[in-house]
Amino acid sequence: MKVDVYNSKGSKTDKSVNLDKAVFGIEPNDHAIYLDVKRFQAAQRQGTHDTLHRGLVSGSTRKLKKQKGTGTARAGSIKNPLFRGGGTIFGPEPRDYTQKLNHKVKQLARRSALSYKAKEKAIVVVEGLKMDAPKTKDFAGLMKGLELADNKTLMVLPTPDNNVYKSSCNLPKHRVMVASDLSTYDIMNCNTLIFVDDAHKVIEGMLK
């Protein structure tokens, strides 16, 4: 599959790149995408929620009243969940939400997500993008040149570039990340993928 190449100003060049069909041209597997996105979102949960059950609540351990003869239900502790200030019944406790997914399923999910973007013609390749210093204006100018200023985009770099990353931080619709960190969720959560230089080759090397 051929994709047009643009320069750092957002202008179309006479060049094009070929995307590997084994990565960008497969029949998408929706269930694999669902499983990988669910795994990713579950991993974002901190799992630090906690409540005090009756064993953790502060209070006296003395018996409140005699067992029999009061005409009411027996009560053995002020920490009883039925009393005001007592413990919580079946409250949340710290836990790990991480879900396991086989490596091949994760790879299939990413290939499927990339194939969707390729079918939708939502992949752009930019060459020679270099910034001497972080500058939001330059990054916004590139997006305007690509006619993607109002689109939700994800720019994928072959190697880390702090200047490009910082230039995008004040633009909520645009994100920048390294190809090795690209996940199925990131791919599906944008309207257009922008590969810088050989970023697509890095991805192809990981998913073949």
Residue 39 lies inside a defined structural domain of this protein: no
Per-residue pLDDT, averaged over 177-206, amounts to 94
- Residues 58 and 149 placed together within one structural domain of the fold: no
Residue 7 maps to a domain: yes
CA-CA distance, 32 to 132, in Å (whole number)?
A: 40
Look at residues 55, 22, 40 and name the one whose alpha carbon lies nearest to residue 101. 40
169 and 190 belong to one structural domain? yes
Which range marks the domain in which residue 135 is found? 2-29+101-207
Residue with tokens 């974002």: 44
User: For residue 40, is it within any domain?
Assistant: no
Is there a domain that residue 130 lies in?
yes
In a domain, 23, yes or no: yes
Average pLDDT over residues 43-66: 92
pLDDT at 166 over 90: yes
Residue 148 lies in a domain: yes
Q: Is the same domain home to 158 and 193?
A: yes
Residue 9's pLDDT band, with cuts at 50, 70 and 90, is confident
59 and 25 in a common domain:
no
Tell me, yes or no, whether 22 and 107 share the same domain: yes
Looking at the structure, do residues 114 and 16 belong to the same domain, yes or no? Answer: yes
- The token pair that represents 117 in the structure block: 């973007």
Same domain, 6 and 56: no
β-partners of residue 194 are: 124, 155
CATH number of the domain that residue 119 is part of: 3.40.1370.10
- Residue indicated by tokens 């009061």: 70
Domain count, the chain: 2
Per-residue burial over 163-174, b = 16 or more CB atoms within 10 Å of its CB, e = otherwise: ebbbbbeeeeeb
Mean pLDDT value across the chain = 92
Answer yes or no: is pLDDT of 13 > 90: no
Q: Burial level of 161, CB count in 10 A (0-12/13-18/19+)? A: middle
Alpha helices for the chain (secondary structure H): 21-24, 30-43, 103-119, 136-145, 162-168, 184-188, 199-207
Positive/negative CA dihedral, 5, 7, 196, 30: negative
Crossing angle of the two packed helices 30-43 and 103-119, in degrees rounded to 10 = 110
Q: Check pLDDT > 90 for residue 50.
A: yes
The whole-number average pLDDT for the span 47-73 is 92
Indicate the burial class of 134 (C-beta count within 10 angstroms; 0-12, 13-18, 19 or more): middle
CB-CB contact of 108 with 29 (8 Å): yes
Per-residue pLDDT at 1 exceeds 80: no
Task: With respect to residue 71, please indicate whether it lies within any of the assigned structural domains.
Answer: yes
